[in-house]
């Protein structure tokens, strides 16, 4: 099916693939680059620190021709005096999802995660860590512990208007009331500002890229929440869990950490489960509207559950798009933790009597108070299960699994109450809610109905019935993008829909239009990232297949070393040694290898015999005394078999994170037809990470485990 050109008359872009995460608009030539960029001859953005030093975790300094410190060309804050003490870096706990101190490296220092020491605090950055030890002289502050009231007012309103699904974990009425009375914990307020800052034109214009605009707020929140030993300073409360979740969502947008470990989510989960008892049953009667204390307890419990479900939502999304495994404990908790209530009841605590008790494994209610958040979670869990089948099963096993998943998808669609079904009238009603700050229900409506057609396509792929583009899928996505407008571009809704739809319709010109809109804000194109991911997975699948073929060859050769049945006395007496066999060859057959004496264990063979030894022992002496090389039956080396490479392979999402091109140096050629996003190209997520089947003995034989 051919697609028409997009409304703006644009055509699909034929540009070289690279992930434009650090791509910005054209800039005037700087009069001065930082010392590190000048030395490496790289383009510098003139900030303090610059983006290059920030991502490389380097000390960013600017000096004149005489070596004297000078201000950064685009730094709006005064540089610190040269004799001042160095500014404190990000605390070393940042990469550790634990409440304990981080490990110590052999040099006696603290081991740090490379992504967590990327402090955007320059020479004039504040040290807002609690005064646990002497920090030296104070330095000028970028932000005080509490941001400027005007900035706070703007960013809080942006947060509740545009930042979904992040805002769904905070009860807006009580947050606004506490903010008016200065009762909101400063670290939570800073976390809110960090998430919202990229959407503020005034603040984003001062950053090297808009997605990094929240980094100063992020760093200040970190320094308030932890000490330099990795200990959590704030109490493990609901506010702490909310702040940790928001910090992780900031990291996902700012530093591409969706390909890595969810460190702050891990810590938030410890708080939720260990201190807040998120798995505690919550089926008691709703509180009385006249009991303020009971109402606030109800709100706190709901916020606790919502923090958990945000973490679970992002875990499913990460698994769908980067094959990152979902923790077994998360799966267990998802079975027992109550789903969020509907958005109206959540905000209007006076109507808590209308709240429904919904669970993931129970049928959804078909009432006007059915949870929008809950239905969004249900469709994402189904989509996650479909992708697991696509990436782990082939042939008959996949065919057997798909009917059950199709039924679950159809049952979900049929379970939607009338006001949550996808119709033009319902969509128009939801769009009107986008004009208010109470728009989480509308965003959930759009997100679930954007994921439904994507899941529908995945089911058809699993059934092998996906041939031509399905018109209603494109039409529904187009309606949602047009209706959601900015709310789609500023959230994961756009990224998820683009990643999924581009797999099945990469040549649709409308995809390029949506992708360009997303790039304007976040600085990268989802379609290009998705294509690089699929190419990396196709390559990993090819390597796994080659390793499997080598394994089969190894097994055939290994059969030659299996112990033979001892010959009977009769046959041995009647079968004299051939006169054509040399004495060495006779001795070789009479005295088997060391491995044969150990029941044919190949591990012993590899430990006690090198390939050179085995070859030399197979050399016989002919009748004329010339050396005759016997047929080679020894095992090839692991290096020759290509299995050392498979032993060192990383998990798919980790390998992708390592190989992802982040700048001009990673420019590559356009994707070839063989590694495109065609159907049936989904790799096995465990193929690159798991040991080849039946080859676990190789680890023991090599004298160590996997790196």
Low-confidence winner among 207-216, 363-372, 660-669 (lowest mean pLDDT)? 660-669
Low-confidence winner among 161-165, 453-457, 473-477, 669-673 (lowest mean pLDDT)? 669-673
Q: What's the rounded mean pLDDT across residues 366-373?
A: 92
For residue 49, cis peptide bond before it (omega within 30 degrees of 0): yes
The C-alpha atoms of residue 298 and residue 143 are separated, in whole angstroms, by: 34
Element (H, E) at 399: helix 395-415
Q: What local confidence, expressed as pLDDT, does residue 563 receive?
A: 63
Contact 457, 500 (CB under 8 A): yes
| Closest to 237 in 3D by CA, of 263, 272, 269, 266 | 272
Contact 62, 48 (CB under 8 A): yes
Distances (CA, A) of 602 to 551, 559, 636, 673, 698: 13, 10, 12, 42, 9
The C-alpha atoms of residue 247 and residue 428 are separated, in whole angstroms, by: 33
Contact 61, 69 (CB under 8 A): yes
Q: Is the pLDDT of residue 659 over 90?
A: no
399-407, long-range: CB within 8 Å, 24+ apart, which pairs? 399/463, 399/464, 401/462, 402/459, 402/462, 402/463, 405/459, 405/462, 406/459, 406/463
Q: What is the SS3 assignment for 629?
A: strand
Task: Name the phi and psi angles at 497, rounded to 5.
Answer: -65, -40
Is 261 a member of any domain?
A: yes
Is 44 a member of any domain?
A: yes
Distances (CA, A) of 300 to 169, 306, 356, 382: 10, 10, 17, 29
The C-alpha atoms of residue 195 and residue 181 are separated, in whole angstroms, by: 22
The single residue listed with the structure tokens 């505690």 is: 280
Q: Which two tokens stand for residue 199?
A: 């959407």
- pLDDT above 90 as % of the chain: 36
User: What would the pLDDT profile of 253-283 be if each residue is shown by its tens digit?
Assistant: 887 555 556 889 999 999 999 999 999 988 7
Low-confidence winner among 43-52, 58-67, 92-101 (lowest mean pLDDT)? 92-101
Q: What is the SS3 assignment for 110?
A: strand
pLDDT band at 546 (very low <50, low <70, confident <90, very high): confident
218 against 139, higher pLDDT = 218
Q: What local confidence, expressed as pLDDT, does residue 558 receive?
A: 78
Is 636 a member of any domain?
A: no
338 against 483, higher pLDDT = 338
Average pLDDT of the chain is 72
The single residue listed with the structure tokens 């685009």 is: 74
Angle at 522 between CA 518 and CA 528, to 5 degrees: 65
Q: What local confidence, expressed as pLDDT, does residue 75 receive?
A: 55
Is 26 a member of any domain?
A: yes
Element (H, E) at 627: strand 627-629
Distances (CA, A) of 444 to 413, 447, 493: 15, 5, 9
Range of the domain at 165: 17-99+110-276
Low-confidence winner among 27-36, 50-59, 625-634 (lowest mean pLDDT)? 625-634
The C-alpha atoms of residue 293 and residue 457 are separated, in whole angstroms, by: 48
Is 22 a member of any domain?
A: yes
Helix axes 292-322, 492-504, angle to 10 degrees: 30
The C-alpha atoms of residue 497 and residue 517 are separated, in whole angstroms, by: 13
pLDDT band at 242 (very low <50, low <70, confident <90, very high): very high
What is the CB neighbour count within 10 angstroms for residue 306? Answer: 26
Q: Which two tokens stand for residue 487?
A: 């709310």
698 against 215, higher pLDDT = 215
Q: Is the pLDDT of residue 157 over 90?
A: yes
User: What would the pLDDT profile of 607-625 be if each residue is shown by its tens digit?
Assistant: 344 434 434 444 444 444 4
Is 179 a member of any domain?
A: yes
Q: Is the pLDDT of residue 577 over 60?
A: no
Q: What is the SS3 assignment for 123?
A: coil
Q: What's the domain count of the chain?
A: 1
The C-alpha atoms of residue 193 and residue 175 are separated, in whole angstroms, by: 14
Answering whether pTM is above 0.85, one says: no
Q: Is the pLDDT of residue 368 over 80?
A: yes
The C-alpha atoms of residue 656 and residue 213 are separated, in whole angstroms, by: 26
Element (H, E) at 389: helix 372-392
Among 92-101, 453-462, 552-561, 664-673, top mean pLDDT goes to: 453-462
Is 523 a member of any domain?
A: no
The C-alpha atoms of residue 563 and residue 273 are separated, in whole angstroms, by: 55
SS (H, E, C) 491-539: CHHHHHHHHHHHHHCCCCHHHHHHHHHHHHHHCCCHHHHHHHHHHHHHH
Is 77 a member of any domain?
A: yes
- Sequence-separated (6 or more) residues with CB below 8 Å from residue 555: 694
The C-alpha atoms of residue 216 and residue 207 are separated, in whole angstroms, by: 10
Distances (CA, A) of 51 to 34, 60, 118, 249, 660: 11, 10, 10, 20, 17
DSSP-assigned letter for residue 124: T
The C-alpha atoms of residue 316 and residue 381 are separated, in whole angstroms, by: 7
Q: What's the rounded mean pLDDT across residues 16-33?
A: 49
The C-alpha atoms of residue 527 and residue 543 are separated, in whole angstroms, by: 24
76 against 201, higher pLDDT = 201
The single residue listed with the structure tokens 């383009």 is: 43
H helix and E strand count, the chain: 30, 2
The C-alpha atoms of residue 594 and residue 537 are separated, in whole angstroms, by: 41
The C-alpha atoms of residue 329 and residue 47 are separated, in whole angstroms, by: 43
Q: Is the pLDDT of residue 25 over 50?
A: no
Q: Is the pLDDT of residue 296 over 70?
A: yes
- Categorise residue 393: left if φ over 0, alpha if ψ from -120 to 50, beta otherwise: beta
Bridge partners of 69? 63
Q: What local confidence, expressed as pLDDT, does residue 29 receive?
A: 55
Low-confidence winner among 326-330, 331-335, 592-596 (lowest mean pLDDT)? 592-596
Among 1-15, 18-32, 423-437, 655-669, top mean pLDDT goes to: 423-437
Among 110-114, 653-657, 685-689, top mean pLDDT goes to: 653-657
User: What would the pLDDT profile of 400-411 be if each residue is shown by its tens digit?
Assistant: 999 999 999 999
Q: What local confidence, expressed as pLDDT, does residue 582 receive?
A: 46
Q: What local confidence, expressed as pLDDT, does residue 269 receive?
A: 95
Q: What local confidence, expressed as pLDDT, does residue 258 receive?
A: 52
- pLDDT above 70 as % of the chain: 63
């Amino acid at each position: 099916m051919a697609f028409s050109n997009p409304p703006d008359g644009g055509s699909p872009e034929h540009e070289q693939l690279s992930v434009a995460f650090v791509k910005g608009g054209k800039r005037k030539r700087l009069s001065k680059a930082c010392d590190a960029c000048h030395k490496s001859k790289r383009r510098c953005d003139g900030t303090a620190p610059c983006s290059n030093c920030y991502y490389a975790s380097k000390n960013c300094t600017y000096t004149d021709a005489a070596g004297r410190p000078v201000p950064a060309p685009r730094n709006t804050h005064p540089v610190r005096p040269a004799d001042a003490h160095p500014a404190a870096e990000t605390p070393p706990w940042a990469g550790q999802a634990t409440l304990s101190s981080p490990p110590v490296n052999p040099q006696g220092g603290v081991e740090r995660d490379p992504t967590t020491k990327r402090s955007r605090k320059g020479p004039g950055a504040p040290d807002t860590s609690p005064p646990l030890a002497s920090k030296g002289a104070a330095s000028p502050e970028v932000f005080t512990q509490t941001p400027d009231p005007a900035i706070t007012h703007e960013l809080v309103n942006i947060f509740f208007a545009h930042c979904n699904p992040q805002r769904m974990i905070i009860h807006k009425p009580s947050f606004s009331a506490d903010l008016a009375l200065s009762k909101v914990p400063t670290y939570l307020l800073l976390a809110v500002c960090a998430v919202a800052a990229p959407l503020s034109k005034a603040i984003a214009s001062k950053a090297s890229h808009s997605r990094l605009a929240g980094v100063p707020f992020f760093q200040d929140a970190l320094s308030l929440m932890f000490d330099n030993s990795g200990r959590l300073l704030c109490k493990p409360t609901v506010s702490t869990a909310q702040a940790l979740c928001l910090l992780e969502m900031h990291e996902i947008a700012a530093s591409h950490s969706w390909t890595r470990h969810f460190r702050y989510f891990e810590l938030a989960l410890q708080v939720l489960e260990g201190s807040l008892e998120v798995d505690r049953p919550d089926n008691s009667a709703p509180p009385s509207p006249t009991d303020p204390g009971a109402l606030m307890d109800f709100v706190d419990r709901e916020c606790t559950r919502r923090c958990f479900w945000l973490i679970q939502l992002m875990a499913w999304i990460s698994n769908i798009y980067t094959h990152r495994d979902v923790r077994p404990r998360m799966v267990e908790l998802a079975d027992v933790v109550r789903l969020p209530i509907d958005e109206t009841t959540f905000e209007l605590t006076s109507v808590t009597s209308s709240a429904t008790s919904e669970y993931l494994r129970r049928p959804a209610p078909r009432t006007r108070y059915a949870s929008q958040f809950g239905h969004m979670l249900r469709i994402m869990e189904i989509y996650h299960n479909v992708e697991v089948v696509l990436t782990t099963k082939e042939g008959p096993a996949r065919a057997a699994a798909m009917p059950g998943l199709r039924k679950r998808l159809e049952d979900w669609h049929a379970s939607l109450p009338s006001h949550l079904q996808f119709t033009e009238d319902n969509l128009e009603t939801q769009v009107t809610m986008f004009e208010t700050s109470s728009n989480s229900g509308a965003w959930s409506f759009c997100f679930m109905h954007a994921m439904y057609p994507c899941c529908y396509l995945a089911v058809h792929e699993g059934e092998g019935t996906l041939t031509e583009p399905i018109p209603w899928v494109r039409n529904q996505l187009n309606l949602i993008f047009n209706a959601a407008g900015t709310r789609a571009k500023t959230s994961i809704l756009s990224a998820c829909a683009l990643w999924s739809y581009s797999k099945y319709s990469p040549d649709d010109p409308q995809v390029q239009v949506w992708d360009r809109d997303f790039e304007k804000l976040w600085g990268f194109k989802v379609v290009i990232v998705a294509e690089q991911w699929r190419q990396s997975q196709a390559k990993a699948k090819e390597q796994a297949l080659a390793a499997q073929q080598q394994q089969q060859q190894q097994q055939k050769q290994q059969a030659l070393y299996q112990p033979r049945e001892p010959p009977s006395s009769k046959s041995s007496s009647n079968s004299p040694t051939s006169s054509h066999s040399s004495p060495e060859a006779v001795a070789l057959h009479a005295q088997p290898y060391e491995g044969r004496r150990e029941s044919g264990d190949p591990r012993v063979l590899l430990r006690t015999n090198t390939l050179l030894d085995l070859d030399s022992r197979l050399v016989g002496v002919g009748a004329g005394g010339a050396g005759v090389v016997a047929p080679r039956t020894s095992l090839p080396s692991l290096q020759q078999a290509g299995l050392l490479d498979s032993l060192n392979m990383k998990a798919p999402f980790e390998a992708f994170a390592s190989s992802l091109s982040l700048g001009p140096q990673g420019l590559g050629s356009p994707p070839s037809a063989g590694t495109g996003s065609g159907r049936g190209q989904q790799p096995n997520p465990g193929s690159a990470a798991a040991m080849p089947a039946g080859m676990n003995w190789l680890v023991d034989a090599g004298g160590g485990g996997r790196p």
